[in-house]
Structure 1
Amino acid sequence: MDKNIVIKAENISKQYRLGQVGTGTISHDLNRFWHKIRGKEDPYLKIGETNDRSTKGDSDYVWSLRDINFEIEQGDAVGIIGRNGAGKSTLLKLLSRVTKPTTGSIYTKGRIASLLEVGTGFHPEMTGRENIFLNGAILGMTRKEITRKFDEIVDFSGVERYIDTPVKRYSSGMYVRLAFAVAAHLESEILIVDEVLAVGDAEFQKKCLGKMGDVSKGEGRTVLFVSHNMAAVKELCNQGILLNQGRIEYKGSALETVIEYQKGRNSNDSYFYEGNIENAIGNENIRVKEFSVKPLMGDYISIESGAKVKLIFYNNRPNINLDATFELRSTDEVVVFHTGSLIYRNLDSKIGLHEVTFDLPPHLLNAGNYYFKIIFGENQRYILFENDNLVSFSVENKAIGSNANVLPGIIRPDFNFINSYYGK
């Protein structure tokens, strides 16, 4: 392995068996063992389906990752992006040695600090102080090394008052602050972070992003960062990996990888299902027959055209308060708005097809790529069904003839400016 390469993945794949552990798996395990002692290939590697969460599927085996190959050099900050279910967290677990690949090999050089979930590696009965030393010991650091960094860790986390309190009494915010501070400050060569910033408040998120930037750019350590925040990926990372249904779809610079991801978001401005409603996207509560975003004027959606949003769905839950919520996001994962319609309000919902429409007025959205998340709820509390992969669309700048975000911002209002001249 090249001396500058600190992580190398060769043909790694990860297969999972669906269902409850211990239910009908002994025969499979014996079959695997019998093939292994005879020097033959695992028979279950030939079966299995792609990890597509939107379909039921027929196989008990799914491939969370398939044939992954890449190399990461020392000092690289790599953003790993993709939709939910693409395999991002599974990849980080393999790289962190939490689990091992079904096939293939991973080579790493140096100590790895992982922050995969809130409080990863913390013992709940131990105090914050004790957990700092425990985490350092797990990373292979001496007590002297940890002591040298201790005050800096505590100061960054902002939990000094509770440092001698068992962490099981910490709030989730305190937990993540300390966990991130430990992972970022202890002297590992590789830092792996999985969307942990979503837990902290806005101020702490900004602080974390600043520290991660210092770690990769200033200290020359390698950072792997899974995030749905495209703006953060573009700011922090110099390299990117785009995963789609367990496979690498694109590798390149962070900016190029984000653009490639956003292209994929911008390919489906309508969903229409013609077959048996029972097989349409949804579940036992809700099935979506049609969802579309079309221009109010002209042939394509532009800043000036506005758009009509149309949703037709089948409701199978009678006598409830039924609502449909629409959340519009940019492909940088910025929420533009979150609004909804209370379709039934007197516990009088009816089984059958329903239609909801509304208009996005002209001069509301700036040029760029957007997608809708739809959420169906009961009593404005319980989620009956949600989906964020059905519809995405592009708003073009008619004057430029493209959807390039030539001016900053999410909205593009057309104000009635009044200009006056009063003379000399």
Structure 2
Amino acid sequence: MADAPQGLLGVVVAASYWPIGAAAEGAGPLPRLQRGLRGARGAILRWPGRAEAQQWANAELLRQRRRRERRRWGQGSGGERGERGRAPGLGRETAERSLMGTSGPSSSFPSPPAAPSRTRRYRFLLRHRAGPCWGRVRGKGARTGCHRVQESLLSSSSGYSNYRGILNWCVVMLILSNARLFLENLIKYGILVDPIQVISLFLKDPYSWPSLCLLLVANVFVLVALAVERRLAEGSLSEGLGTALHALNLLAILCFPAGIVLIVTSITPVGAVFALGSYTITFLKLFSFRDVNKWYRERRGAQKAPPEAAGAKKANGDVGLKVVTYPDNLTYSNLYYFLFAPTLCYELNFPRSPRVRKRFLLRRLLEMLFLMQLLVGLIQQWMVPTIQNSMKPFRDMDYSRIIERLLKLAVPNHLIWLIFFYWFFHSCLNVVAEVMQFGDREFYRDWW
């Protein structure tokens, strides 16, 4: 057994030296490999299973002989091997004998069995490895199959969250179902869309404009709020008295338009809704205007503002964007910019966009016009006939028919609300913001 380590060491050393370039005949890595293999053969003959070991050693030696012969006689490609070429009439056995320095096969190294071809090895692996996904083994411990322990995608423990395909399928089903209902409505009622009728929703009498007059009166409450804030900034009004005046002004904003709508009979429902909505927005804006100015008054009382904060100058001497400070913000232009800006939170200095994007503005305007006509058409064509047909079940208190009519109204109602959301919060507010160069365009978040 003492020769075994030396023999195995010879095999390892020879295998490590073999990839180095070709050597002269009778010298270089080949004699080292021969000596190593012979030493290994002499050592492993004394091991159990020596027949298998001897067969492996002989096969390894033959493989090394063939590689050496290819390199020497030009069976490979490129480099020095291609320039040597192969002698005419020199067969593989003759080359091997010439290489080993013998005229015949060595008696101490019997010819080993031929190594199995790649096709035979692949067939053997296919017989012992079932499955279409099994691939070639790249290394020890490499995965050789396509199966592993895992959960189904729709299981809660799988961690899968990309349901975009199901969402697309739901959209397709929604479009198909709504298209069927719309086609059924057209077959049953015909075309009921009348653009001229939309004007009568805002005006009953062309010479009477109560909604517009109600909107113009809102300026009175705005000027009262500005006057109170100016007196508070000058110190001519106490904080308690100013709070009471603001409370009365805000209460009047809520009560006055409601009373006018109830008293004036010539006002239309759509015009009344528009006027009441505008007054509600004005109430929220003036409430924020009062609170922010109060905070700045308290801060000014605690510490004086730095004098250089009122304006900034560029390096070339031109006056840059002026920073407004309290109480310089109590002007008509500042307050009315806030009233028309698409926000309910007041600030002294709003973020501004550098320019007006004309193409963006034109796209939003076209969206406004198209979606407005679509909303009116859906209401006239889809919802109005259904509401008219729902009056009799409500009078007779037929609950099954009432539930059926409400479910029938649910589909167009949801569709109209979604279109209205996009029309108002995206198209309309972006148009106003683009014209006023208002920089903050986050009018909505992903509520869906």
TM-score (norm 2): 0.17
Higher strand share: 1
TM-score when normalising by structure 1: 0.18
Q: Which has the higher helix share?
A: 2
